[in-house]
Structures are given as C-alpha cells and as structure tokens.
Structure 1
C-alpha cells in the first residue's frame, strides 16, 4: 500500500468514494433501505410532500419515485394519504420507523470506521466536499 501515497488526488477520491459507497450500501441493505430511499426520507423530514415534489427534490422521474415510495411504504418507512385540500393529490409522510432508520443511517455514516468515521474532522470534510461540488 506504500504506492498509494503516489496516487493522484482524483484517483484517491474515486477509490475512497467507491469504498464508502459500497460499505454504506451494505449497511442500508441490512436495514431495508436503498440510497434512493435514504434521499427520499431526508427530504420528507421537513413535512409531507407529493410524489411529484419528492421526485423533483430527488432529481428523478415520477415513475422512479413511485417505485421508491412503494418500497419505502412496504418497509414501513413512509405512509401516504390524500391531501385534505385537494383529494386528487397524495401526500407522502415519513413514519416514526422511517425517522429512526434515517437517524441510524446518519449516525452510522458519521461514526463507523468503515464509513466516514475514519475522517478526523467529519464536519470539516463535509464542508470541503460541498465547496468542491458547488464550485464545479
């Protein structure tokens, strides 16, 4: 592994991203969740959304979001109900189980040595990633 010190930064980022993503995928699967489902739950924390609103926030098609919502509903992470103001609209809400699972995923990401817990300054690392992405 001594040669890793000579790798270009882009290669380091790419390999690190694949490793963390693979490990996080295993963690999520063990909890009945997918990356897409995790993103949807993240957006539902602030309150109910329609499928179309949720799809827009997650940057996926309505059809893709429909499948994601179906999976989340079967797992007990979300519920759906008619909008009281417009009965034609269906609202998606996060359940208590969904909130607990989302928090568990956030904690695992921060604390697991297999994920980003290995990073000494987690919040600083996040800030730098956000800065790097928003500059591009």
Structure 2
C-alpha cells in the first residue's frame, strides 16, 4: 500500500502515531490497576524481570528494551522503597547486580492479581490479541 505524504493522510494512517497513542492509553489502564501498590507500569515490569532472574542493570535494560540510563533511573524509587537491592556484580565492579528483596517479592505478588485484571481488560478489547502481539514483535527486527 502506498501512502501519500500529506498531513491529513499522516494523521489518519500513521502506524507510529496510532501505536504511541495506544501505548499511552494502555499505560494509563495498567497504572490505574497498579495504583494501589504505588507502582508505575514500568516499575511493575522491572519487578517482573527481576523475579524472572534478570540480575544486572544492563540485562534489565535489554529485557525492557531501554537504555541503561533509563533502567538505572527506573530502579531508583524501587531501591528507595526497599523493593530492589543493588551490589557489585562480582569481579567487575562496574557491573551493578540487582536482587528483588522480600518486600519487592511481596509487592509483586500483591500486584499480580491487579495486573491480571488490567491484562484481561486490555486483551479483551483486541479481537486477535495474539496475532497483533506477534505482528508487533516483528517490527524493528
């Protein structure tokens, strides 16, 4: 399909614009559900990654598809709340090791049912969620 590069066409058909607007709506949906746990959507996904065994800032950045600086900033409030502990990553003192604390695991466990409610609401709004997710995963590869 060929798209005419005119403002009215861009506004009506731009995949990037539609995806960014959808991402903002999804973020608001998940954050409404996660609010009782004082977690943003990004903080929740960081806790999930740590629970799955991601153990360094670099690995967290890779897992969440963000740069290391953003990942480090994301961790700051989680460390302050005692949900994540940091330390050196062994022999290379430049590597920051990450650990989900007991409080972090408890917060994640308490938030999971609310995440599930947000997930059901989001996925329920998309008739072919699996197909859409798979198609989006192919972008940029």
Normalization by structure 1: what TM-score? 0.65
Q: Structure 1 residues 83, 106: CA separation in 2 closer, same or farther (over 3 Å shift)?
A: same
Alpha-carbon offset, residue 50 of structure 1:
1.8
Deviations 1:5-50 (A, max 9, x none): xxxxxxxxxx997666424212323312111111111111132522
Match of 2:45 in 1: 39
Deviations 1:35-91 (A, max 9, x none): 111111111113252212211211112221111111110122110011233233220
Distance in 2, matches of 1:21 and 1:128, equals 21
Structure 1 segments unaligned to the other structure (5+ residues): 1-14
Written as runs of structure 1 = structure 2, the 5 A alignment for 1:89-108 is 89-108=95-114
Match of 1:81 in 2: 87
Match of 1:27 in 2: 33
SS at match of 1:93: strand
Structure 2 segments unaligned to the other structure (5+ residues): 1-20
SS at match of 1:88: strand
What is the root-mean-square deviation of aligned Cα atoms in Å?
3.3
The number of aligned residues is: 121
1:49–1:91: 8 Å Cα contact kept in structure 2? yes
Match of 1:133 in 2: 136
1:48–1:91: 8 Å Cα contact kept in structure 2? no
Normalization by structure 2: what TM-score? 0.63
